[in-house]
Chain A
C-alpha cells in the first residue's frame, strides 16, 4: 500500500486522488485496447497504404462525422497570465505581498520570491453564461457566450520550447509534425489555390522554436506550413513582374512541367520530385488566389473597424486576424497567428506589459469570433486562443512594484476555444485557490489534441503515419481523452 508519505514527488492529497481516478481510468483504456487489438491481430492486419499514407492535398473524408472543418489558432507565445485575465483568485489579493502559504514549482529559482502577487485588475462576470474575465479584456468579455474557457490546462514542462512543442506537435520533443501538418495530412485541403496550412508571424519576430512550429517533422514535405509574412509582401515573390504575366508565364510553366515530367520519369518512387511539380501548380494558382485572399481592402470599413484596423494599437494584429478569416473562408485548413517572440513572457514589469499585450490582441481576437459567427462560419471553424503556459501566483523580480513579474507556470493555465463544435459559453476545469496547479478536470496536451482531432472527425488512433516500422500518431501512444465537457452536447 502506498501511503501519504510516499517517496514520490507529488503529494498524495485529495485532489491528486481525483486526478488519479481520472487519468488512471482513462489511462488504461488505450493500453488495454492496444493489447487486445494486438492479440486479435487487428493491428497486424494489412493496411491499405494509400488510405493511411496520403501524399497529396486532395480532400479526404474524416473517419467520423466532424463538427469542425477548419481552425484558427491565435498563439499567444510566452505564456499569458491566467490569474490576471481569466482565472480570478480572490485569495491572491487577500495575501498580496505576503508569504505564499504553499509550495511553488519555480522555473527560475534565481529570481524567485515567495511573496504573493495579487491581481491588480478587477474581474467581473459577463454574458449570459457569467464567465468572469478581467478588465484587461473588454472585448473578449463581450463574446464569452461563444467561447469555452479552459482553466485547467496542464503540460507540466516548465520551459517555453518544450511546452510549445507539447501544444503544437503533441510531445515535448522537437522534430515532430505540427498540428496543422497532421490536420492537412488527415483531411487534405479544401482549396486548390492556397496552401492548406499557414503560419502568420509577427513583425516583432518569430516565436520561440521558430520554424519548428510549423514543421512537417517526418510527414511528407507537402504538409509543411507556409509562412505568411507580417508585412507586405506577405508572401515573397507572389507577383510576377509585368513582363512575365499571363500567357508568357503560362507557356514557361507548361514547358517547365514538360522538363520536370521527363526528369521524373526516371524516378517514379521519388515523392519529392512529385511534390515539387505539384508546388509549381499551386504556386501559379496562389499568385492570384493569395493576392486576392490577403487583400483586406475588399472588406467594409465596418468590418475593418471591428478588428481594430482603424487604431494604431490593434491595426497590425487585427489585419492578420482578418486575413486569417479570409483564408479560412477560402478553404485553408489551419491558420496559426503568432504573437512575437516571448510577447507574453512577463517575468518583469507585468503591470505595464500585460495591459499592452491585451490591448493589442483583445479586440482582434474577439472580432474574429464575432465575424465568423455573423458569417455562419463559426459552426465549422475552431478558434483557439492561448499560449504555451500561464504564470505563477508569486512575485518574480522583486525589484519594486513597477518591475515585478510572474514566472512560468505550466501546471495550471488558461486558454479558450470557440466554434467548430466546442461548447458555447462557460468555463471548464479549475486550478487551486491560488491558480498554480490545475486540480479539477485537468486538460493536458494529449487531451487537448484528442479532443481537437475528434472535432475534426479524426480518430487519434487511426490517424497514423507509418515510419521506420512504427505507427506514428499525434498523441504518440500517450493516453489522451476526448474531453466531452468541452464539446457542445
Chain B
C-alpha cells in the first residue's frame, strides 16, 4: 500500500515542487492553508470539539502533532506528510464531490515544502471554541467604517461631486465619463429609477423649458416627492424582506390575508423618508418600542407592530397539515435569520446553522447567539401558527358594537330554531297522518326518543317508516316538496269530487221530483239553458236543486261544499307555508345584522409574549432534535467592541433582546449595516453593487470595487441622519449618473465591462415596471394606492392572470368577476402568491422569494418575444394605446405618431422615424383591409395604429432604460 501510493504520488509531488519554485511568495498557514482546511476539513477535525481520529487541524502545531496515525504534516517533507497523501489520493475529504482542487493541493504542497510557516506565533491555549486568525479579524468588511478624504482630481476630468472624484481616482486609466445624457434621456432614466414609471409629456415639457441652473435638482425633487416613489423603492425593500401574500413551504401555499399592511407600511416609510435607522429598529423590534398589544391599539402601536411584519415574511407552513411541526417551525426561524443576515448584515450567517461557517469566521455558536436574539419572539416550543397569532385591530368601541350586533343575530337565530321545531312538529304530524292509526302514537314516541335511547323495536319501526325517521332540520326542505306534491294530489282529487258532488246533489234533487214530472224535467235539463222554452224554464224553477252547479253547490248541499272548501284550503295551506323560504328569512336577517359589524382588520406582526424567555441551545448538526449547550444572545464574535445584548432587559416587559440588537445595529458604528445598505442602493441605481454580491460581504462574496467610495457613502448616509432621499440626491447629481449610456469604441476598449463607470449602464425594466409602464403609456393606469392585493387566479389554460377565482363545484371557472378597474393598478399591489406568480411577471424574471431576493436576474428568451407578439395582454394594451392616441391627437396621423413616441420613449421622434412609422401604418392599413374586408375604415385605421403601438411597446428602447 505504502509503496504503491508513494509511487503514484511522488512524480506528482516532484512536479508540484518544481512548480512552487516558479510561483509567487511562499504560502502561510493563516493566509493560504487555513482557509482550505476550514472549508473542507474543520467540520470533522477541529470544529466544535470534533476531532475524528484525534486530529485537529486548527493550528499549524496541531497538524504537526497529528492524530492517532501520527503527524499529518512533516515540515519540509512532502513525501512524509500524510495530509498531502490523503488529499491527493482523494481519500480525504471523503466523498467524490469534496476533493480539493489542484490549486488547493498545490498550496498545501508548497506550504509544507517551505517548512510549513506561520505568519505569527500561534496561541498557546486553544479551547473548543473558534479561533480567529489575524486575517479574519482584519477582513475588510469587519473593520469600522472610516470616512475617507475625497481624492483630488483635476478639473479637466469633469468631477461634479465627491462620488465622481472617487470613481475617477480609482484608476489612472479611467477614460473619463461619457458626455452628459440629454435632458429627455435623463428624465426617463430618473423617472423609472425613482418612481418606476415613465415620464409624462408634461413632465418632459417642464424639464425641457426649465432655464434655471438647478433644473436637474428640481426634477429629482419632484420625483422624490411623488407618491409613486415609495411604491418603487418600497418594492425594492420588499424583495429583500421576502414579501409574499402566501405562506409557501407546502403545496397548499396558504394565503396570507393580512401581509399587505406591512407592504403599505414600507411604502409609506419610503415616501416619508423615514430615517433608515428608525425604519430598521421598527422592523426588528417595533413591538418592544410600544406598550404590549392591548385591546385598543393606538396609531403608534399599529404602525410599530405592522413594521415587525418584516420578521413575519419567511415562508411558514406551520398551519398546514401533513408536515413535521418541529422541522417546519425550525425552518421558519432559520429563514427569518437568513433574511435578517442577508438583508442587514450582508453575510450568509445561515450557512453556520449546522456547522461553523466554511469560509467566514462565523462559528455555529454565533449563529445560535443571533438566534437567541429572536427566539423569545419565535419560541419554537410554544409556537403559534399564522392564524393563531394574528392581532385584531378592533377597538373596544368596535367590539361593543360587534357584540351588540352579534347578540341580535343570535336572537334571530334562536327564533329560527324555535321555528324549526315548529316545522318539525308540523311535518311529523303530517307524516303520521299517512301511517296506520294504531302505529301513530308509538311512532311519534320513537321519533321523539333520542337516537341512542331507542329500543330495538323503536328502531325497527322507524326503519319501516323512513319518511318519518328522516325528518330533521336539514331535510325539512324535502318535505316542502312533498307538501307541494300533496297539494297537487288534493287538487286533483277535489276536481273529481267537485264533479261527483254536483252530480250526486242533482241526482238527489231529481229523486225528489214527482214521478210524473221527472221525465219532463230531465228532458229540459238536456237542453242548453238559452234554448229552453219558457215552459221548460218555468218548470225547472220549481225544482231549483236540479240546476245545481259547482258555483251554487253550497245552497243545495252545504256539507259537500264545505268539504270541497276544506280541501281547497288545505291545498293552499300546503303550498303557502313552506318551511325553507321562511327559515331562510331568519338566516338572511342574522347575516344582515352581522354584516353591519365594523370590519375587523388583522396584523401579521411580532408580539413577544412578556415573561417567557426560552433558552436557546445550539442544535448539534443543526438538528432541532439534538439540542446541546445553551447560548445567550449576542452579535457575531468576530465584530470587535460591540454593545452587549442583555438576556433580559428588566426595564421592558419583553426580553428587550431584539430592541437592543436593533439599536446596536443602527448606532452608527456597526461595520456592516450602513455598507450593506448603501451598496444595495447603489446597485439599484447603477445595476450592480460596489460589492457585487449584495447579500454576501463574506469571503465567498465579491470584494468592493471601490472600497473608499463605499465607506464614504456609508458615512454620508449615517451623517445625513440615515436619509435615503438625501443619498439619492448625492448619487443622482453625480456626473457618473448624469452621463450618457452611449460611449466610443476607444472607451470600450479601455473599460470593456464598465468596471470604471465610464458610461451609464443600460438596464432592462423589471417585470413589474414593464407592466406599470404599459399602463401609464396606454392611459389605463389606476393610481389608487394601498389596501388588500389585487387577486390572481389560474385561467382556463393554466396561466396566472389577474382575477377573482370563481369556480363551480368541479373547479371549472364560471362567470368572470369584474375587477372594476383594480386590474389597472400598480404591480406592487398584485397578490404575490409563491406558487402562483402572475404569468407575465414569470416570463420577465419575477424573483422567487425563498426566503427573499437579494438581487434580481434578467433573462432573454424567446417566450418573452412571443409575449410581445401574441399575448392578449399586449394586444389589449396596444389597442388602448391606439385609442388614446386617437382621442388625444384626433385627425392627424403625424401628431399621433409624435405623441406615441413621447409617451413610449419620453422623447420626440426624428423626421426619419416619423416617416418609417407612417409608412408602417399605411402598409398595415392595406394589409388589414386585405386580411379582413368586412372591417370598416374606422376599424382598419384603429387596428393599423395599434400594430404601430404594439411595435413601440415591444421594442428594446421601451424595454430598456438608457
Contact = CB atoms under 8 A, between A and B. Distances in A.
Interface in A239-277: 239-241, 243-249, 251-253, 255-256, 258-260, 263-264, 266-267, 269-270, 272-273, 275-277
B956 interface: yes
A270 B762 contact: yes
A2 B947 contact: no
B67 A7 contact: yes
Interface stretch (A26-34, A121-129, A331-339, A355-363): A26-34
Contact of A155 (B11, B96, B843, B924): B96
A282 B5 contact: no
Contacts of A235: 863, 866
Contacts of A28: 8, 12, 88
A266 B867 CA distance: 26
A257 to B, nearest CB: 10
Contacts of B960: 263, 273
Contact of B860 (A24, A221, A478): A221
Contacts of A5: 53, 68-69
Contact of A27 (B45, B90, B862): B90
Contacts of B637: none
A50 interface: no
B102 A255 contact: no
Nearest to B82: A2
A465 B884 CA distance: 48
B90 A23 contact: yes
Contacts of A272: 764, 858, 860
Contact of A252 (B85, B92, B931, B951): B951
B407 interface: no
A44 interface: no
B956 A264 contact: yes
A280 B15 CA distance: 53
A240 B869 contact: yes
B509 interface: no
Interface stretch (A223-231, A298-306, A375-383, A424-432): A223-231
Contact of B54 (A7, A227, A238, A276): A7
The residue among A12, A171, A236, A247 with the most chain B CB atoms within 10 A of its own CB is A236
B862 A283 contact: yes
Interface string B822-833: 000000000000
A284 interface: yes
Interface string B18-47: 110010000000000000000000001100
Contacts of B956: 259-260, 263-264, 273, 276-277
B860 A276 contact: yes
B24 to A, nearest CB: 14
B96 A7 contact: no
Contacts of A103: none
A17 interface: yes
Contacts of B952: 259
Contacts of B595: none
A286 B866 contact: yes
Contact of B8 (A25, A171, A205, A247): A25
A399 interface: no
The interface size bin for chain A is 35 or more
A13 interface: no
Interface string B917-946: 100100110011011100000000001000
A279 B89 contact: no
A283 B19 CA distance: 52
B924 A248 contact: yes
A255 B951 contact: yes
A221 B19 contact: no
Given A6-B53, A35-B15, A238 B866 contact: yes
The residue among A30, A251, A255 with the most chain B CB atoms within 10 A of its own CB is A255
A477 interface: yes
B862 A243 contact: no
Contacts of A12: 91
A444 B97 CA distance: 8
A466 to B, nearest CB: 12
B101 A477 contact: yes
A17 B869 CA distance: 61
B68 A7 contact: yes
A253 B948 CA distance: 10
B752 A269 contact: yes
A213 interface: no
Contacts of A35: 15-16, 19, 102, 106
B798 interface: yes
B955 A8 contact: no
Contacts of A31: 12, 102, 105
A430 to B, nearest CB: 16
Interface in A396-455: 442, 444-446
B742 to A, nearest CB: 4
Interface string A387-402: 0000000000000000
Contacts of B19: 35, 38-39
B623 interface: yes
A66 interface: no
A195 interface: yes
A374 interface: no
Nearest to A442: B96
A2 B8 CA distance: 15
A157 B97 CA distance: 8
B928 A248 contact: yes
A48 interface: no
B923 A251 contact: yes
A54 interface: no
B52 interface: yes
B281 interface: no
Contact of B69 (A3, A240, A279): A3
A283 B866 contact: yes
A166 B95 CA distance: 13
Given A24-B5, A226-B861, A266 B90 contact: no
A241 B870 contact: yes
Contacts of B864: 276, 279
Given A2-B85, A7-B55, A283-B865, A248 B931 contact: yes
A20 B105 contact: no
B445 interface: no
Contacts of A246: 931
B951 A229 contact: no
B577 interface: no
Interface string B867-907: 10111100100000000000000000000000000000000
Given A226-B861, A272-B858, 4 more contacts: A2-B82, A31-B12, A221-B860, A446-B96
5 contacts: A2-B86, A224-B859, A229-B798, A247-B930, A256-B955
Closest 7 CB pairs of A and B: A7-B53, A283-B865, A444-B96, A156-B95, A237-B870, A221-B860, A237-B866
